[in-house]
Amino acid sequence: MIWNLEHYKDNIALICETGITVSYEELNKIGKQIADTCGGRCLVFVMCQNTLGSVLGYTAFTNNDIVSVLLSAHMDRQLLDNLVETYKPAYIWAPEEKKADYAAFGNTECPAYMVYDYVLIKTGFAVSYPLHDDLCLMLTTSGSTGSPKFVRQSYTNVEHNARSIVQYLELNATERPITTLPMNYTYGLSIINSHLMVGATILLTQKGIMQKEFWQFFKEHNATSFGGVPYTYEMLDRLRFYRMNLPSLRYMTQAGGKLTSELHKKFAEYANLVGKKFIVMYGQCEATARMGYLPAEKSLDKCGSVGIAIPGGKFHLIDMNGEEITSPNTVGELVYEGKNVTMGYAEKGDDLLLGDERKGVLETGDMAQVDSEGFYYIVGRKKRFLKIYGNRVNLDEIDCMIKNYFHITDVVSAGVDDQMYIFLTDEEIASDVRQYVAEKTRINPVAFKMFVIDEIPKNESGKVLFSALTQYYE
């Protein structure tokens, strides 16, 4: 049991767009009914959206020993088919209005359980994979490309990270965060996890910050906080957010990639001026969610920094040989230690039985340096991936996906955050490739720019020369 729902039974846990409220008592009671229907520990795919049923199901499973895999309710169907086949979940928890889409997996006409907008569909697989006792939930690292790779998070991971967040954000029952991120995204989920810990009220909306209804809901229910990826803050800037009158707002958090120093400064200054807090944070799905944060009072002083390790965690830097770097302002790979470092990955059904493979230490793959006062700055990345609108997109997986689908070999992707460049030699398929990648990743096509070139630059052993590609976009 992660959350003591009974303790806050008289508090309101959730309020949705249509005004329906769910108390902690109801969350607890319905949760037990859902878990009873499942009949014990098993694997459930939760098709997520920011609505009552979605959160109710997730808390039911998580608090009652059932392992959930959190996926987007809008994910590509073919990718979902692959995941269902790979992991053989016992149930699928899905939006009622889309139940026909799931008919191939089980009986959707008479679902095993139904509450608010969600149904529990029994899949009827003859076999199921055994689950490790510590396994709490799984999230995708880059669900967008449909890789079957999940991050395995333990009960200890989820609980520790949530408690740490509660501590540094000083959360209590009076908080009313409004959803701005999907709950199958580690950052969005951490907001839910930490607020249920303290008996706060979560405002659930499917609407985005570019919609009038979002702000109406925000004001009507006095939202106190929201989170955003760099792109969210670019949009807020574009909306001239600084002029909006939001008296209930207490603080804003930012994670999911590096915000430009200019915007960091703008929001920090705005927050200081109007007596709110702007908190830049750093995290990864592999560390459950959160690893670092920049305390609000340092947000201007240390502009551009991701701050210090969260309570209970530790950062250090290592050089190419794995030796610890002790001098300030020297770039090395950022290593994090803490109880929120996840167990490892799963890539197939048998992996669900694996134990803790990381022993509390995570090499983040991010290159960073630390100043003389102990504040960390991310300067680059070791691995080939981009953050596009906060989503981690693995470039090698994108290349692989295109090659397989179009039966071509000459394609390679590169780019910077929020802008991917896809290089290929066949002009005729360029626009089809762009459309295909946008469809599969469910990311706006403007994020993908195509370059038709004569030849993909490679070295003598056939490895792509990524450095030769940057001339096209830098």
Among 114, 235, 400, 456, binds other proteins (CB under 8 A): 235
Among 383, 431, 445, 466, binds other proteins (CB under 8 A): 445
* Minimum distance from residue 259 beta carbon to other proteins (Å): 16
The answer to the question of residue 118 lying near other proteins (CB under 8 A) is no
Among 211, 260, 329, 470, binds other proteins (CB under 8 A): 211
Residues between 380 and 439 that touch other proteins (CB under 8 A): 389, 438-439
Read off φ and ψ for residue 401, nearest 5 degrees. -60, -45
Q: Which stretch binds other proteins (CB under 8 A): 110-118, 165-173, 230-238, 392-400?
A: 230-238
CA quadruple 205, 285, 159, 174: dihedral sign: negative
The answer to the question of residue 215 lying near other proteins (CB under 8 A) is yes
The answer to the question of residue 246 lying near other proteins (CB under 8 A) is no
Residues contacting 183, CB < 8 A, separation 6+: 48, 49, 50, 54, 55, 58, 70, 189, 192
Question: x/- site string to other proteins, residues 189 to 208, per CB under 8 A?
Answer: -------------------x
Residues between 52 and 91 that touch other proteins (CB under 8 A): none
The answer to the question of residue 451 lying near other proteins (CB under 8 A) is no
* Minimum distance from residue 470 beta carbon to other proteins (Å): 24
* Minimum distance from residue 45 beta carbon to other proteins (Å): 24
> What's the angle, vertex CA 377, arms to CA 265 and CA 181, rounded to 5?
65
Q: Is 166 helix (H, G, I), strand (E, B) or coil?
A: helix
The answer to the question of residue 274 lying near other proteins (CB under 8 A) is no
Among 103, 104, 244, 274, binds other proteins (CB under 8 A): 244
The answer to the question of residue 447 lying near other proteins (CB under 8 A) is yes
* Minimum distance from residue 434 beta carbon to other proteins (Å): 10
Rg from Cα positions in the chain = 22
Residues between 351 and 390 that touch other proteins (CB under 8 A): 389
Of residues 208 and 380, the one with the C-beta less far from other proteins: 208
CB atoms within 10 A of CB 378: 18
Residue 288 backbone zone (phi > 0: left; psi -120 to 50: alpha; other: beta): left
The answer to the question of residue 446 lying near other proteins (CB under 8 A) is yes
Of residues 33 and 419, the one with the C-beta less far from other proteins: 419
Of residues 289 and 443, the one with the C-beta less far from other proteins: 443
Taking the C-alpha atoms of residue 386 and residue 395, their distance in angstroms, rounded to an integer, is: 7
DSSP string over 11-72: SEEEEETT--EEEHHHHHHHHHHHHHHHTSS-EEEEEE-SSHHHHHHHHHHHHTT-EEEEEE
* Minimum distance from residue 241 beta carbon to other proteins (Å): 8
The answer to the question of residue 129 lying near other proteins (CB under 8 A) is no
Taking the C-alpha atoms of residue 234 and residue 258, their distance in angstroms, rounded to an integer, is: 12
* Minimum distance from residue 418 beta carbon to other proteins (Å): 9
Distance of CA 17 to the CA centre of its chain: 22
The answer to the question of residue 210 lying near other proteins (CB under 8 A) is yes
* Minimum distance from residue 444 beta carbon to other proteins (Å): 4
Amino acid (1-letter code) at residue 125: F
The burial of 109, by beta-carbon neighbours within 10 Å (0-12 exposed, 13-18 middle, 19 or more buried), is given as exposed
| Residues 377, 389 contacting (CB under 8 angstroms) | no
Residues contacting 346, CB < 8 A, separation 6+: 87, 138, 149, 150, 152, 352, 354
Q: Which stretch binds other proteins (CB under 8 A): 239-247, 261-269, 320-328, 359-367?
A: 239-247
# chain residues binding other proteins, by CB under 8 A: 24
Taking the C-alpha atoms of residue 285 and residue 291, their distance in angstroms, rounded to an integer, is: 10
What are the residues binding other proteins (CB under 8 A)? 208-212, 214-215, 231, 234-235, 238-241, 243-244, 389, 438-439, 442, 444-447
